[in-house]
Amino acid sequence: MTRHIISVLVENEAGALSRIAGLFSARGYNIESLTVAPTEDASLSRMTVVTSGSEDVIEQITKQLNKLVDVVKVVDLSEAEHIERELMLIKVRAGQKDREDMKRMADIFRGRIIDVSDNTYTIELTGDGRKLDAFIQALDQAAIIETVRTGTSGIGRGNRVLRI
Amino acid sequence: MDRVKGKSLTGAEIVVRCLQEEGVEYVFGYPGGAVLFIYDELFKQDKVRHVLVRHEQGAAHAADGYSRSSNKIGVCLVTSGPGVTNAVTGIATAYMDSIPMVVLTGQVPTHAIGLDAFQECDTVGITRPCVKHNFLVKDVKDLATTIKKAFYLATTGRPGPVLVDIPKDVTAATCEFHYPGTIALRSYNPVKKGHAGQIKKAVQLLTEAERPMVYTGGGVILSNAAPQLTELVRLLGFPCTNTLMGLGAYPGTDRQFLGMPGMHGTYQTNMAMQHCDVLLAIGARFDDRVIGNPAHFAQNPRKIIHIDIDPSSISKRVKVDVPIVGNIPDVLDDLLKLLKNEKPRDIKAWWKQIEEWRAKDCLKYDRKSKIIKPQFVLEKLYEVTKGDAFVTSDVGQHQMWAAQFYKFDKPRRWINSGGLGTMGFGLPAAMGVQMANPGATVACVTGESSIQMCLQELSTCKQYRLPIKIVNLNNKYMGMVRQWQQFFHGNRYSESYMDALPDFVKLAEGYGHRGMLVEKPGDVEPALREAFARTNELVFLDFITDQAENVYPMIPGGKGITEMILSEDL
C-alpha cells in the first residue's frame, strides 16, 4: 500500500465530481482527500485525489478514471518529482496568558494569523500534509477549537505539466 | 460539425427527429406524465415504431435483446420516477454485458427538480453506476447534440447503455433543429489499431507455443470479429473456447471448439485453460465465473496475450504478459497478416492430451430416465431448430444447460444476461430479438421461477404477434439455488421450492397464446416439432423436468478452475 497523488483534468460539467467520487466508492478504492476547482480554462476542472493501494490497484484506478467519459487526462503525480501543498485554517484558544506562545508557534511553522478575537486566533498554514499534522501535534490539543483542511493539491516539478 | 439546415421545433419533436435521423426502427417504452409530449410526437409519425411493453424492465430488456441479436441499437423510452427505477435492472443488465443501448427518460420540469415533485427521482444519480454515460438536458438547445452524443458513446469503444434524462418543459420548449452529422469529444477517443510492437510479440508467442489455447468473450461478438476469429483459430489449428458471453463467435460444432469455460464449463476446456503455455484472450475479462480462484489460476506460469478495447479490462484480475488495446477486428486483421507468414509449432501432443480430457464426456447425463431430463429437452431443441434459432435465456440451471447443449455456430444467436445474471431477462429480450429478426425462429429457454419475473410481457407478445417459443424447464425449484443448497448448505432447501405455481398452459391461454404441457420424455420431440411448426403464434411449452438434476461440471465458489465436481464423482 503506497500513497499516490492522482491529478485529473475533467470537463467542468455538472455531475463530474460525483462520477469520480462514485467510481471510488463503487470499486472500493480509498480516498484520503479530494480537491476540485476550475482551471485557467473555464471548461476544465482539475481534481487532485490522494489515494493509497497496491501497484495493481493504482493501475486500475488510473484506468478506470480514464474510462469516465468526462475525464480528459489522468496523471499519477507521485510517479515522478512533484510538489504537494495543502491549506489549513485552524482556530485556536488564545487568551491573555497563551497569546504570545500561540503567536510564536504559528511563526515557527510559518503560519499567519488571519483573524483575531479577544480569546482566539485563526491561523492559516500551508504545506504538505505532514507539516500540517506536525503543527496540530505541536499544539496543546485543548487549545484547538476548529480545523479546516483543503486536502492536498499537487503539481509536477519543472517541465512536467498536465494540460490538454 | 456538419449541420442540417435548422427549423424551429419543440423538444419532443426534436427527440423524434433525432431517432429518425439515427434510423431507429423501434422504441421500446411505456408512457407517463413526463414523456407525454414525446408520445404525442410519436403518435403523429410512423417512421419510428413504438412497442408498448407491460413494465419498464421489459422495455430495457427488449431494447437490449434487439441490440444483442443485431448490429443495430436498441432504444427505450420511459417516464420519470418509477418508470426509471423499473428500468434500472434492465439498464444494469446491459451495462454488465457492454450492450449498446440508448435510454430516454422523462424528468419533472426543470423548475421542479429537487423539490420532491410527483414522480421525481434523481435519474442521473440512480443510473450513474450502471451506464456508460448519462446526461440531464436542461436546455432544449442542447437536446439534439446530446442525443447524438448518446448514440455515439453507446456504440463506439467498449459499448454500453447511455441515458438521456429530459425534463418535461424541455420537451415543450422550442429551438432550431440541427442534427450534428458527427461528434468529437476531446475526452473520449477510443483506440482502433493495436500497438504494432505488442502484436509482433504476440505472433512470436503464438508461433512458439507448445500448448496454446484461445479464449474469447463477448467482445468478439460485440465487435463483429467472429469471421476473423474463426480464420485465426483455423489457421493456427489451436483449441478454442468461448465464454458464456462469447458463444457463437467460433462455431460450436467445430472440433477445435472445446466448449464453454468456467464454473459450468467443460472439463477439457478448464483443464486446457489451466495447463496451456500460451493463452490468447480476446474480448474476455477473466471474471470469477470463468477462471475461478485467481491465485489458483496463477499457479501455472503460462504466458497471456490479452486483446481488448478497454484498457481497464487488462490486468484487472489476472496479470497479463502481452496487453494489446484495440478494436478486436483491427487487431486480428493485423495478427492474421503476420501469422500467415509463420509456421506454428506442431502441437499434436497437446491435442492428444486434450482429446483424453474430452473423452471424459463431462456433459453426460442419464438418457434412460423416465422423467424428462432438462439436458434432453435442450438437445431436442437443438435438433428441431436445426441449430439455427435465436435462443434467449433467463438465469439459473436452464441457462447453463442451454449454453452447454445448444451448439451455436453463429454469433448473436445466444442472448443471455451473463454479467448481472438477471432473472426475468429471457422473455422481454426475446421480444427485442424477434423485432430485430422478423421471421427468425426465436426460443426463450427459461424456468418456472425466472419466467414469472417478467411474465406480464406475454401480453406484449400478443399485441405485436411475436411467435416466440417459450421452453419452460419446470422443476418447481429455483434450480441453481437448490443445487448450491444441496452441495454447500447440507440439503437445506431454504425458500427455493416454489409452491402454488400457476397452470402455465392456462396462463398462456389466458394471454391468448397456446400452451402445451409435456410430462414424458417420449413427448418432448413431438411437442417441440408441433410448437415450432406453428410459426405464427407464441407457444408456451411447459416441460415437467427432473427436480434433482444438477449442472455438471461445477467449480465451487472460490475454488480453482480444475477443481471441478463431475457428475461421475457423485
- pLDDT tens for residues A50-62? 999 999 999 999 9
CA distance B523 to B544: 11
Query: Which tens digits make up the pLDDT trace of B172-193?
Result: 999 999 999 999 999 999 999 9
Question: Burial of B176 by CB count in 10 Å (0-12 exposed, 13-18 middle, 19+ buried)?
Answer: middle
Are A66 and B153 in contact (CB < 8 Å)? Answer: no
Are A69 and B310 in contact (CB < 8 Å)? Answer: no
DSSP character string of A21-85? HHHHHHTT---SEEEEEE-SSTTEEEEEEEEEE-HHHHHHHHHHHHHSTTEEEEEEGGGS-EEEE
Query: Which tens digits make up the pLDDT trace of A122-151?
Result: 999 999 999 999 999 999 999 999 999 999
CA distance B287 to B294: 9
Are A164 and B312 in contact (CB < 8 Å)? Answer: no
pLDDT at B570: 57
Mean pLDDT of B296-308: 96
Any idea of the CA torsion for B536, B540, B546, B552, to the nearest 10 degrees?
60
Measure the N-to-C terminal CA separation of chain A; round to a whole number of Å: 30
Query: Which tens digits make up the pLDDT trace of B152-167?
Result: 999 999 999 999 999 9
Task: Decide if B12 contacts B143 (C-beta within 8 A).
Answer: no
Any idea of the CA torsion for B401, B407, B408, B409, to the nearest 10 degrees?
170
DSSP character string of B230-299? HHHHHHHT--EEE-TTTTTSS-TTSTTB----STT--HHHHHHHHH-SEEEEES----HHHHB-HHHHTT
In angstroms, what CA-CA distances link B224 with B70, B237, B332, B497?
10, 21, 11, 41
Half-sphere exposure of B235 (CA within 13 A, CB side): 20
Q: At what angle do helices B328-339 and B226-236 cross, to 10 degrees?
A: 30
Please choose, from the candidates B546, B531, B375, the residue with its C-alpha nearest in 3D space to the C-alpha of residue B443: B531
Are A63 and B128 in contact (CB < 8 Å)? Answer: no
pLDDT at B60 over 80: yes
Please choose, from the candidates A69, A38, A89, A55, the residue with its C-alpha nearest in 3D space to the C-alpha of residue B185: A69
Residue B385 Cα, gap to closest chain A Cα (Å): 41
The pLDDT confidence band at residue B3, using thresholds 50, 70 and 90, is very low
pLDDT at B567 over 90: no
E strand or H helix that includes residue B56:
helix B56-68
E strand or H helix that includes residue B18:
helix B11-21
DSSP state of A16: H
CA-based nearest residue in chain B for residue A11:
B187
pLDDT at A94: 94
DSSP state of B33: G
Q: pLDDT averaged over chain B? A: 96
pLDDT at B386: 97
CA distance B544 to B370: 12
Query: Which tens digits make up the pLDDT trace of A3-60?
Result: 999 999 999 998 999 999 999 999 999 999 999 999 999 999 999 999 999 999 999 9
CA distance B72 to B66: 7
What are the chain B neighbours of A71 within 8 Å (beta carbons)? 187
DSSP character string of B445-456? EEETTTGGGSTT
Residue A158 Cα, gap to closest chain B Cα (Å): 26
pLDDT at A90: 98
Residue B101 Cα, gap to closest chain A Cα (Å): 16
Please choose, from the candidates B569, B566, B549, the residue with its C-alpha nearest in 3D space to the C-alpha of residue B366: B549
pTM of whole model > 0.90? yes
Query: Which tens digits make up the pLDDT trace of B228-268?
Result: 999 999 999 999 999 999 999 999 999 999 999 999 999 99
Q: Which residue has the cell 507468414?
A: B341
E strand or H helix that includes residue A10:
strand A2-11
C-alpha cell at B138: 436542461
Query: Which tens digits make up the pLDDT trace of B201-228?
Result: 999 999 999 999 999 999 999 999 999 9
Are B128 and A22 in contact (CB < 8 Å)? Answer: yes
Active site residues of B: 56, 118-119, 168, 480
In angstroms, what CA-CA distances link B160 with B246, B256, B311, B317, B501?
16, 31, 15, 21, 36
What are the chain B neighbours of A22 within 8 Å (beta carbons)? 128-129
E strand or H helix that includes residue B146:
helix B143-155
pLDDT at B474 over 50: yes
Provide the sign of the torsion angle of the four alpha carbons B10, B16, B22, B27, taken in this order: positive
pLDDT at B142 over 90: yes
Q: What is the largest CA-CA distance in chain A?
A: 57
CA distance B250 to B235: 13
Q: Which residue has the cell 482556530?
A: A91
Q: What are phi and psi of B92, to 5 degrees?
A: -65, -35
Give the residue numbers in B contacting A (CB under 8 Å), as ranges.
124-125, 128-129, 132-133, 136, 153, 158, 185-188, 310-312, 315-316, 319
Percent helix, percent strand, percent coil in chain A, to nearest 5:
30, 40, 30
Task: Decide if B409 contacts B387 (C-beta within 8 A).
Answer: yes
Query: Which tens digits make up the pLDDT trace of A82-113?
Result: 999 999 999 999 999 889 999 999 999 999 99
- Per the document, the length of chain A is 164
Provide the sign of the torsion angle of the four alpha carbons A126, A130, A131, A136, taken in this order: positive
Closest CB to B310: pick one of A15, A19, A67: A67
The three-state DSSP-derived secondary structure of B498-558 is CCCCCCHHHHHHHCCCEEEEECCHHHHHHHHHHHHHCCCCCEEEEEEECCCCCCCCECCCC
The pLDDT confidence band at residue B1, using thresholds 50, 70 and 90, is very low
| Helix, strand or coil, per DSSP, at residue B365 | coil
CA distance B333 to B454: 42
Query: Which tens digits make up the pLDDT trace of B495-519?
Result: 999 999 999 999 999 999 999 999 9
CA-based nearest residue in chain A for residue B162:
A69
pLDDT at B354 over 80: yes
pLDDT at B2: 42
| Helix, strand or coil, per DSSP, at residue B90 | helix
Task: Decide if B144 contacts B165 (C-beta within 8 A).
Answer: no
| Helix, strand or coil, per DSSP, at residue B43 | helix
DSSP state of B565: B
What are the chain B neighbours of A72 within 8 Å (beta carbons)? 186-187
pLDDT at B5: 58
Are A18 and B188 in contact (CB < 8 Å)? Answer: no
Are B312 and A22 in contact (CB < 8 Å)? Answer: no
CA angle B317, B321, B327 (to 5 degrees): 80
Count, in order, helices (H) and strands (E) of chain B. 22, 19
CA distance A122 to A94: 9
pLDDT at B568: 72
Are A67 and B312 in contact (CB < 8 Å)? Answer: yes
Query: Which tens digits make up the pLDDT trace of B83-116?
Result: 999 999 999 999 999 999 999 999 999 999 999 9
What are the chain B neighbours of A15 within 8 Å (beta carbons)? 124, 128, 136
Q: Which residue has the cell 444476461?
A: B417
What are the chain A neighbours of B159 within 8 Å (beta carbons)? none
Please choose, from the candidates B56, B27, B57, the residue with its C-alpha nearest in 3D space to the C-alpha of residue B41: B27
What are the chain B neighbours of A60 within 8 Å (beta carbons)? 312, 316
Mean pLDDT of B279-293: 96
pLDDT at B6: 60
Closest CB to B316: pick one of A15, A60, A66: A60
Closest CB to B312: pick one of A22, A63, A72: A63
Label the pairing between strands B442-447 and B390-393.
Answer: parallel
Closest CB to B129: pick one of A26, A59, A71: A26
Mean pLDDT of B407-428: 98
Are A15 and B136 in contact (CB < 8 Å)? Answer: yes
Task: Decide if A11 contacts A72 (C-beta within 8 A).
Answer: yes
pLDDT at B45: 97
Q: Which residue has the cell 507448445?
A: B210
Mean pLDDT of B527-540: 98
